[in-house]
């Protein structure tokens, strides 16, 4: 008897053996690629699985936050002494 592979969403942890509207993301330090679900993309080395658009977006946002440096300035913070706005 053959068992179907299980795929787990990287954000919520839900497991599915027949993902239909899922997405696959492959990424590195400087590149991120989003793929519609296919077995080829899902089974590729380093593939990350997401149960839908919303969780794909969560991961993409986290990826951008991790590589964006220096951090965004906080314009609501008090100005240093002697600096004019």
Tens of pLDDT along the chain (85 residues)? 678 899 999 999 999 999 989 999 998 878 999 999 999 999 999 999 999 999 999 999 999 888 765 666 677 777 666 555 5
Assigned domain for 47 exists: yes
Distances (CA, A) of 24 to 14, 65, 85: 15, 19, 45
**Spatial distance between the Cα atoms of 27 and 47, rounded to a whole number of angstroms:** 8
Domain that holds residue 24: 8-67
| Overall domain count for the chain | 1
Assigned domain for 32 exists: yes
Report which of 71, 54, 63, 43 is spatially closest to residue 12, judged by C-alpha positions. 54
Residues 6 or more apart in contact with residue 29 via CB below 8 angstroms: 67
Q: What is the pTM of this model?
A: 0.73
Assigned domain for 53 exists: yes
Assigned domain for 84 exists: no
Assigned domain for 31 exists: yes
**Could you tell me if 31 and 67 are in contact, meaning their C-beta atoms sit under 8 angstroms apart?**
no
Assigned domain for 14 exists: yes
Assigned domain for 72 exists: no
pLDDT of residue 71: 61
């Amino acid at each position: 008897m053959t068992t179907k592979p299980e795929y787990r969403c990287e954000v919520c942890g839900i497991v599915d053996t027949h993902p239909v509207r899922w997405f696959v993301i492959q990424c590195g330090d400087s590149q991120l690629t989003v793929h519609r679900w296919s077995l080829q993309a899902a089974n590729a080395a380093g593939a990350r699985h997401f149960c839908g658009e919303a969780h794909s977006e969560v991961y993409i946002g986290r990826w951008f936050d991790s590589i964006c440096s220096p951090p965004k300035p906080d314009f609501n913070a008090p100005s240093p002494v002697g600096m004019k706005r």
